[in-house]
């Protein structure tokens, strides 16, 4: 068995052996949702003080307000009753290290894992690659603050999002563990 598979199944056995949360309700008890990055350094349960059953956490590369993130947020409110939303990006995000063009070229060359050095991303793997990357908007980030503002604004102005949900914009600092508010984003995300 793969070492990781083994570790995960062992950890789960431990978790389940003292599990006592089987009676939680489906709607999040604290009625909020967090949209954040998939970055492994971020643990929303810890940085936002969540326990099982508390809140929705929607994650993707960058914590971007993609159509699919909005799909989840709309379900979160419309069917499961969340009342406040957080958009949390973070410092040192991988999404700042490439552009659509970079990613498309890398994928065209090879599907294997690329490497990053001071000159940027390089392919070390063998081809073939694929041009399918040309059809994906990779939602990369060139300015952290602006990306949070743009995402809060997109969610705020989305026709399926009601005006009465406040949307807060934050950047999580991977060095200090602190959430830093992006005031302009929160201002734009204000409920009406």
Closest of 41, 44, 19, 42 to residue 32, by C-alpha: 44
171 binds Zn ion (CB under 5 A): no
Q: Residue 106 or residue 165: which is nearer to Zn ion going by CB?
A: 106
Q: Residue 39 or residue 123: which is nearer to Zn ion going by CB?
A: 39
Among 37, 87, 107, 171, binds Zn ion (CB under 5 A): 37
* Nearest distance, CB of residue 163 and Zn ion, angstroms: 29
- CA torsion 99→70→155→170, rounded to 10°? -70
* Nearest distance, CB of residue 20 and Zn ion, angstroms: 33
Residue 148, token pair as written in the block: 């949070």
Residue 185, token pair as written in the block: 């984003």
Total residues interacting with Zn ion, rule: CB under 5 A = 3
* Nearest distance, CB of residue 154 and Zn ion, angstroms: 18
Q: Residue 42 or residue 50: which is nearer to Zn ion going by CB?
A: 42
Closest of 135, 141, 61 to residue 98, by C-alpha: 141
Among 35, 50, 65, 93, binds Zn ion (CB under 5 A): 93
Cis peptide bond N-terminal to 98, omega within 30: no
Q: Residue 37 or residue 55: which is nearer to Zn ion going by CB?
A: 37
151 binds Zn ion (CB under 5 A): no
- Of 23-31, 73-81, 93-101, 122-130, the segment contacting Zn ion by CB under 5 A is 93-101
* Planar angle of CA 8, 14, 19, nearest 5 degrees: 115
Closest of 104, 92, 97 to residue 137, by C-alpha: 104
The gap from C-alpha 150 to its chain's centroid, in whole angstroms, comes to: 15
39 binds Zn ion (CB under 5 A): yes
Which residues contact Zn ion by CB under 5 A? Answer: 37, 39, 93
């Amino acid at each position: 068995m793969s070492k990781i598979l083994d570790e995960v199944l062992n950890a789960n056995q431990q978790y389940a052996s003292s599990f006592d949360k089987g009676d939680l309700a489906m709607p999040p008890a604290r009625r909020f949702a967090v949209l954040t990055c998939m970055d492994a350094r971020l643990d929303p349960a810890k940085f936002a003080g969540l326990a099982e059953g508390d809140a929705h956490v929607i994650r993707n590369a960058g914590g971007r307000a993609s159509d699919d993130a909005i799909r989840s947020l709309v379900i979160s409110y419309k069917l499961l009753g969340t009342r406040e939303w957080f958009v949390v990006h973070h410092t040192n995000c991988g999404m700042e290290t490439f552009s659509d063009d970079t990613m498309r070229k890398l994928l065209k060359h090879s599907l294997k894992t690329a490497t990053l050095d001071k000159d940027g991303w390089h392919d070390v793997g063998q081809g073939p690659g694929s041009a399918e990357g040309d059809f994906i908007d990779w939602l990369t980030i060139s300015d952290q603050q602006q990306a949070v503002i743009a995402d809060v604004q997109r969610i705020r102005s989305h026709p399926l999002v009601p005006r009465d949900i406040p949307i807060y914009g934050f950047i999580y600092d991977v060095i200090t563990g602190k959430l830093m508010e992006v005031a302009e984003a929160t201002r734009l995300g204000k409920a009406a």
